[in-house]
A = this chain, B = another copy of it.
Amino acid sequence: MTVPPRLRRPNPIADDGDELHFCSTCAFSSACLDSGYDKAQLRELHVLVEHVGPYKEGEHIFREGEEFNAIAAVRSGTVKTYVTDTEGREQVQGFFLPGEVIGLSAISQGRYPCNAVALDSVMLCRFSFPTMAALATRMPGLQAQLFRLLSQDIGKAALLAGNYSADERMAAFLVSLSRRYAARGFSASRFRLTMTRADIANYLRLAAESVSRVLRRFQNDGLIRVERRDIELIDRERLTALARNVLRE
């Protein structure tokens, strides 16, 4: 994992005698706070976190084949992961929003199996994985959380694998973004698409032109309002209905 030299600092601990605080992203993604650790343990947990960034648009966080040393939670911004095939064509694997964790698929190989790039200005909470695994042997709550995170991603990866129409994929994509933003306290109905149409298309296994056409049609049908990268979900009801097969509900 590449770290911009301009900002690399340990997670600042607010140690005011009685309490230690994690930033909300660390807390959210590692769920450390839920498990009732004592102060010594909290201090240990703190040292494995490092706040890094900002990565600016287009800057890589890690590249395929690099040695795996850390997973990271997104604090702000959007990260795209992708691979390139033998003909140099890009395949987008996922978009990671604030609170979401990148790098998990690297554990099994010891190397990152894909590239991760910032789509806008990105701040990360970086967790040294060897340290984390070592701590996990003494903190069952942390181990359980790691198992959960890993297992979750297996399920997520299976979603877009299905045999769905362009409309279903697009609806699922929008509903998913909406929910994920909402989970972190952002608006569920208005947000910015931080990725290009080409990225969306590639992720959904469509052509960029199809993305454009589907969005246009969704707007004509009163499902959404879209202007360049700003989008508003108007009829969440019907969008969710369209997405239900993809999202499995």
| Interface set of A (CB-CB < 8 Å, partner B) | 83, 85-87, 91, 93, 104-109, 113, 133-134, 136-138, 140, 143-144, 146-155, 157-158, 160-163, 202, 205, 244-245, 248
Q: A27 to nearest B CB, angstroms?
A: 18
B155 touches A113 (CB 8 A): yes
Q: A47 to nearest B CB, angstroms?
A: 19
Most chain B CB within a 10 A radius of its CB, from A154, A157, A202: A154
**What are the nearest 6 A-B pairs in CB distance?**
A157-B157, A107-B151, A150-B150, A108-B151, A108-B152, A105-B154
Q: A239 to nearest B CB, angstroms?
A: 15
In the complex, residue of chain B having the shortest beta-carbon distance to the beta carbon of A142: B137
In the complex, residue of chain B having the shortest beta-carbon distance to the beta carbon of A139: B137
Grouping DSSP codes into helix (H, G, I), strand (E, B) and loop, the A interface class, with mixed when no group exceeds half, is helix
Q: Can you give 27 A-B contacts (C-beta < 8 A)? A: A85-B245, A86-B244, A87-B245, A91-B162, A91-B163, A93-B158, A104-B151, A105-B155, A106-B151, A107-B147, A107-B150, A108-B148, A108-B150, A108-B151, A108-B152, A108-B155, A109-B151, A113-B155, A113-B248, A133-B140, A136-B143, A143-B143, A150-B151, A150-B154, A154-B154, A154-B157, A161-B205
A147 touches B163 (CB 8 A): no
Q: A99 to nearest B CB, angstroms?
A: 15
CA of A147 to CA of B129, assembled, Å: 11
Copies in the complex: 2
5 more A-B contacts (CB under 8 A) besides A86-B245, A107-B148, A150-B150?
Answer: A93-B158, A104-B151, A137-B138, A157-B161, A163-B202
CB-defined contacts of A146 to chain B, threshold 8 Å: 147
CB-defined contacts of A137 to chain B, threshold 8 Å: 136-138, 140, 143
CB-defined contacts of A162 to chain B, threshold 8 Å: 91, 205
